[in-house]
Amino acid sequence: MANNGKKPRQPRGRPRALTVAKKETILAYVSAGGSQRLAAKFVGCHHSTIRNEADRDPHFLASLTRAEAQCALALLDAITRAATTKADGDWRAAAWLLERKWAQDFGKDRDLSAEQEPTQIQKILVENREEAQAYVRMSSLMPRENNQE
């Protein structure tokens, strides 16, 4: 006998709350735009369980991070398409993206005092306004790769 007649060792402690199936469900939910808190409720665990499991399992942490990024990129792509697909684009989508991506330059809480120097991105936009407008017009005419509309 390989184990000298001893019984096989039983794992100690409580079994993990997140099975492989629950982890896959959480990742699918998060990649679709759900929060970790709601994903936890959906699979029947506390939201800290997801964070604890991610701390213990680097592969799960990387998958969770990738799922959140995948969702963010899909939403960003939808906003960008909305801003550039019409003849003049949807200015609200473009404004929303500017306010969030470059909040210090375009956000609602930015400092509008007269003494403030224009930021680098504002200078570039002013200097290249015509080129930027031409680019937006051009990109709305160009067919998109992997178009799933």
What is the 3-state secondary structure of 12-40? CCCCCCCCHHHHHHHHHHHHCCCCHHHHH
pLDDT per position as a tens digit, 12-38:
887 788 999 999 999 999 998 888 999
pLDDT per position as a tens digit, 99-142:
887 777 777 776 655 455 666 656 666 666 666 666 555 555 54
Per-residue pLDDT, 37: 94
Shared domain check, 110 and 75: no
pTM: 0.56
Inside any domain, residue 102 = yes
pLDDT per position as a tens digit, 64-94:
999 988 888 888 888 888 877 766 667 787 7
Distance CA 117, CA 7 (A): 75
Per-residue pLDDT, 14: 78
- Domain range holding 34? 16-84
Q: How confident is the model at residue 147 (pLDDT cuts 50, 70, 90)?
A: very low
Q: What is the crossing angle of helices 36-43 and 20-31, to 10°?
A: 140
Per-residue pLDDT, 21: 95
The closest alpha carbon to 45, from 21, 18, 19, belongs to 18
Q: How many CB atoms lie within 10 A of CB 29?
A: 19
Q: Where are the alpha helices (DSSP H) in 32-115?
A: 36-43, 47-56, 58-84, 91-101, 103-106
Token code pair at residue 44: 């029947």
Shared domain check, 95 and 75: no
Shared domain check, 51 and 24: yes
If one counts the domains in the chain, the total is 2
Q: Are 53 and 23 in contact (CB under 8 A)?
A: yes
Shared domain check, 138 and 113: yes
Distance CA 126, CA 118 (A): 10
